[in-house]
A and B are shown apart, each in its own frame.
Chain A
Amino acid sequence: MPVFSGSELTCLRGDRLVFTGLEFRIAPGGALVLLGPNGSGKSSLLRVMAGLLKPLRGTLGWDGVSVADDPDGHRARVQYVGHLDAVKPVLTAAENLAFWAALAGAADPAANARAALDRLGVPHIAGVPGRYLSAGQKRRLNLARLLAAPATLWLLDEPTVALDRAAIALFEGLIAEHRAEGGMVVLSTHTDIATPGGEELHLDDFTPYADDEAGGEGEFQEEGAAR
């Protein structure tokens, strides 16, 4: 059984230590919810997990094998949904989606795209160019990528921003289904997304204290002076 884990992870952004000594472990069917105040490193951790960002120290492992030794294999099993929607304004929703499905190696990307849009409850936007989509529709289109280009590990950075309640409920169902099939989900959120049996990871537990206090006070004073 593959296990995705990280040990002793340390992340540096600019000259600020974001988190240090971070450990996590996800088994098949598991979910990890990243919690913490703004700037505690939720997005950074997701980018580290995706391989977009190299950790300063520490290792990520998949089934005991270091991810750094097998970056191509890791990319193939990860699907990352970030803050940006990656929707091209002049391509239709279906074309946008079909491109990512094809890039992930889908046999019939157009059919995958249609099916994924159906599942997300927005089949009617298939022929609509990206520039006419609302923020919520773009988000649904971006989440449809998870279905159109299937991967084992979903890394979701605040996936429910701009979604209405019905869509959030639908999305919770998709996560449950993905986990039932043995997939893994890591997500950061400020709203409540129901992930029964999911573990929580509080990122402020791994924030280095001394640095944070000094940096925090400095920032506060600067803000006060600016006002």
Chain B
Amino acid sequence: MSRFLRLVARDLRLALRQGSDATIAVMFFVLCVVLFPFGVGPEPNILARIAAGVIWVAALLASLLSLERLFQTDYEDGSLELLSLSSLPLEAAVLAKTLAHWLVTGVPLIVAAPLLAVLLNMDAQGFGVLVLTLTLGTPILSLIGSIGAALTLGARRGGVLLSLLILPLYIPVLIFGAGAIDAAINSLTPRPHLLLLAGILAAALPLAPWAGAAALRQAVE
């Protein structure tokens, strides 16, 4: 366990010293959402209607931005070979790196989301559920993304390929995430949507590191 935390701490330290990944993801998220009022017009009712979907789509795209580099630098400098030779199982290493990725890029999105909801005139009833869906949903995005990042390792234009591979898999998360917020705003219970999101998270938590590790083993060969 302590080895697992060591790897998380190292990745966090790398991210903080380089500084760019975390700020880029959250800046992109904010800018992306801010563009919508310019595009669809500043009509408050329309913005309130589309707020949940817009915030969720922007969160999907923002979490994709830095995924490409999840394993890339370790692959290029040889760290990945050493990681796969260490006594930490590769599945645990994938999970640790995914956790660090989520802490760096996912958590700032959760913090920024309520502010953007205010900007889009979202009904205050939906705020709590918005934060809750993002808390359940962004780890899923990082987990599913880690499979794509491992599969596209070493490919030319891996970033584009990664988006094409991963975005379709994000659709269920988007449906239930935005659906839960809409339900809450319309005074319905968001519970089924949240349970389904939690179910996807529970499935992705063991499966994604397992698939990611298998892809990484291919990559280091």
Contacts and interface: CB of A to CB of B under 8 A. Distances in A.
B86 A52 contact: no
- The 9 A-B pairs with the shortest beta carbon distances in the complex, nearest first, are A84-B78, A90-B17, A86-B78, A86-B79, A103-B86, A102-B6, A76-B87, A99-B10, A86-B82
A82 to B, nearest CB: 6
B83 to A, nearest CB: 8
B187 interface: no
B168 to A, nearest CB: 31
B124 interface: no
A75 B217 CA distance: 14
6 contacts: A52-B84, A86-B77, A86-B79, A91-B13, A99-B6, A100-B82
A102 B3 contact: yes
Given A91-B10, A102-B6, 13 more contacts: A51-B85, A54-B221, A75-B87, A84-B77, A86-B77, A86-B78, A88-B77, A90-B14, A91-B13, A91-B17, A100-B82, A100-B86, A103-B88
Nearest to B80: A86
Contacts of B17: 90-91
A103 B90 CA distance: 12
Contacts of A75: 85-87
Contacts of A51: 85
A72 to B, nearest CB: 7
B7 interface: yes
B79 A80 contact: no
Contacts of B221: 52-54
Contacts of A95: 13
A85 B3 contact: no
Contacts of B76: 84
B3 A105 contact: yes
Nearest to A88: B14
Interface string B59-94: 000000000000001001111011111111000000
Interface of A: 50-54, 72, 75-76, 78, 80, 82-88, 90-91, 95, 99-100, 102-105
B77 A85 contact: yes
B7 A90 contact: no
Identify which of B82, B84, B87 gathers the most chain A CB atoms within 10 Å of its CB.
B82
Given A52-B221, A105-B3, A88 B79 contact: yes
Nearest to A73: B87
A104 B10 contact: no
A71 to B, nearest CB: 10
A75 B3 CA distance: 15
Contact of B7 (A76, A80, A103, A105): A103
A83 B78 CA distance: 8
B77 A80 contact: no
Contacts of A84: 76-78, 81
Nearest to A101: B6
B77 A104 contact: no
B81 A52 contact: yes
Nearest to A142: B78
Given A86-B77, A103-B6, A80 B14 contact: no
A104 B6 contact: no
Given A52-B221, A86-B78, A103-B7, A78 B85 contact: yes
Nearest to B18: A90
B219 to A, nearest CB: 11
Contacts of A105: 3, 87
B75 to A, nearest CB: 10
A99 B79 CA distance: 11
Contacts of A102: 2-3, 6
A91 B77 CA distance: 13
B2 to A, nearest CB: 8
B195 interface: no
A180 B196 CA distance: 61
Contacts of B77: 84-88
B27 interface: no
